[in-house]
Structure 1
Amino acid sequence: MAPLLPPAPERRHRYPGRRRVPDRAALAGVMYVLRTGVAWRDVPAGSVGCSGVTAWRRLRDWTEAGVWPRLHAALLSDLRRAELLDLVDCAVDGSHVRALKGGRKSALRPSIAPVPVPNTT
Structure 2
Amino acid sequence: MGEAPPHRPGPARPGRGAGLVEGVFGFGECPGEKGGELTGPNPTDRGKLGTKYHLLVTADGLPLAVAITGANRHDSMLVEPILDGLSPVKGRGRGRPRRRPVKLHADKAYDNRRVRRYLRRRGITARIARIGVDSSERLGRHRWVVERTISWLLAFRRLAIRYDRSATTITAVATLAITVICARRLPRKDY
| TM-score, normalising length: structure 2 | 0.22
| TM-score, normalising length: structure 1 | 0.31
